[in-house]
């Protein structure tokens, strides 16, 4: 029926932008198998590998962010923005999209600007509770804005907003493994309470330090830990553990977890940064979580994401600066409190928004076919 449907999806920079973008593309393809989808990303960023791995074509722009510390370097940034605008215009003219989707990140700026200027309807997807700079600038030109949190009228025109939630990795929702089998998969004991520490694929120094400094707290506790160190920190942590005089059989240490669905299923409690995609996953699976927002993100949006949950008693919060001293102690105390875990699970699950990718895909297809 809609043969020849052509959609551009632009943005990236982090998994939090890329995973939703790919989920939206997959949902469009499931509804319209003949649809052509082209991604536009930023050269040198992770989308240039992740998107082709998911089976989609991507074009790269030489776009980058402003350097707030060295203003002279922004002369080069301005040139890259100008060049990216020209390249985006050519990509759009060649591909002839019927609609464009911006998921945030550097590349979505020039791409969506050019699409809007050429009369191509645009949809924005904002993952965070505090809107990103690019999406705020693009909002006037967008026809629809899909959001994951209530109260986004403070950033966007209310009549354009659709409360869709964030698309998440489908494999996490589709996991059928039992908690016991998942724990055995990590070589641990199903009879013990299990805490999962994750800091993203590269790792989080603060979360790693919170364990390393207080390994003694795990001794004598009927608790075990799955610890994803991140690839950046794995060698140094392995060396430190090797140099300790004790063994820690209650620790499963790994640089990267390929099957996050199994890891979440194994965990009675998760310790994590507060990226929008991760939070959406926790909401949908009803997982009790202690959030440690990264202080190194624009507009401190991870803290704002965290407080949106904390204010509804749906998560616990530890400030990054306090985590090395207090996080592991709080995690052990919380995982042993079954009633607290139950209330956190019930409250966070109330915030989950299902079928996000399908809702967004339907809106994209409507925009593409309404002309």
For all residues of the chain together, what is the average pLDDT? 92
Please tell me the distance from the alpha carbon of residue 215 to that of residue 186, in angstroms, as a whole number.
Answer: 19
- Residue 199 has what pLDDT? 81
Are the C-beta atoms of residues 90 and 68 closer than 8 Å to each other?
no
> What mean pLDDT comes out for the span 199-210?
80
Please tell me the distance from the alpha carbon of residue 160 to that of residue 285, in angstroms, as a whole number.
Answer: 29
- Of all residues in the chain, the percent with pLDDT exceeding 90 is 73
Please tell me the distance from the alpha carbon of residue 171 to that of residue 157, in angstroms, as a whole number.
Answer: 34
Any idea what the Cα angle at residue 134 is, between residues 316 and 157, rounded to 5°? Answer: 85
> What mean pLDDT comes out for the span 252-278?
94
pLDDT band per the 50, 70, 90 thresholds, residue 299: confident
Whether the predicted pLDDT of 1 surpasses 60: no
Are the C-beta atoms of residues 209 and 324 closer than 8 Å to each other?
yes
Most confident of 64-73, 75-84, 192-201, 315-324: 315-324
115-170 tens-digit pLDDT: 999 999 999 999 999 998 889 999 999 999 999 999 999 999 999 999 999 998 88
Least confidently predicted of 62-66, 220-224, 312-316, 360-364:
62-66
DSSP state string for 47-108: HHHHHHHTT-EEEEE------SS-GGGHHHHHHHHHHHHHHHHHHHHHH--SEEEE-SSTTH
18-64 tens-digit pLDDT: 989 999 999 999 999 999 999 999 998 889 999 999 999 999 999 88
């Amino acid at each position: 029926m809609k043969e020849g449907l052509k959609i551009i999806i632009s943005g990236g920079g982090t998994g939090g932008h890329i995973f939703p973008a790919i989920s939206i593309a997959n949902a469009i393809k499931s509804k319209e198998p003949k649809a052509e989808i082209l991604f536009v990303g930023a050269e040198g960023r992770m989308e240039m590998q992740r998107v082709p791995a998911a089976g989609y074509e991507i074009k790269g722009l030489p776009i980058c962010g402003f350097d707030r510390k060295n203003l002279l370097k922004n002369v080069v940034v301005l040139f890259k923005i100008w060049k990216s605008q020209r390249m985006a215009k050519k990509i759009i003219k060649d591909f002839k999209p019927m609609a464009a989707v911006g998921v945030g990140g550097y590349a979505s700026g020039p791409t969506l600007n050019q699409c809007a200027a050429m009369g191509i309807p645009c949809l924005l997807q904002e993952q965070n509770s505090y809107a990103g700079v690019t999406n705020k600038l693009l909002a006037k030109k967008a026809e629809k804005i899909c959001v994951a949190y209530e109260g986004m009228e403070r950033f966007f025109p209310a009549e354009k907003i659709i409360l869709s939630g964030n698309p998440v990795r489908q494999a996490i929702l589709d996991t059928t493994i039992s908690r016991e089998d998942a724990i055995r998969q990590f070589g641990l004991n199903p009879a013990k309470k299990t805490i999962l520490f994750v800091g993203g694929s590269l790792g989080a120094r603060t979360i790693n330090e919170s364990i390393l400094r207080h390994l003694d707290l795990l001794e004598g506790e009927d608790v075990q830990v799955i610890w994803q160190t991140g690839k950046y920190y794995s060698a140094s942590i392995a060396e430190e553990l090797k140099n300790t005089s004790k063994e820690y059989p209650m620790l499963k240490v790994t640089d990267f977890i390929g099957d996050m669905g199994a890891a979440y299923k194994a965990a009675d409690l998760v310790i994590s940064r507060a990226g929008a995609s991760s939070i959406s996953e926790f909401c949908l699976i009803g997982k009790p979580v202690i959030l440690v927002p990264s202080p190194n993100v624009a507009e401190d949006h991870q803290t704002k994401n965290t407080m949106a949950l904390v204010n509804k008693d749906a998560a616990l919060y530890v400030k990054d600066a306090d985590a090395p001293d207090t996080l592991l102690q709080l995690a052990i105390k919380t995982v042993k409190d079954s009633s607290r875990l139950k209330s956190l699970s019930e409250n966070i699950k109330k915030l989950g928004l299902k079928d996000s990718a399908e809702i967004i895909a339907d809106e994209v297809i409507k925009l593409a076919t309404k002309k």
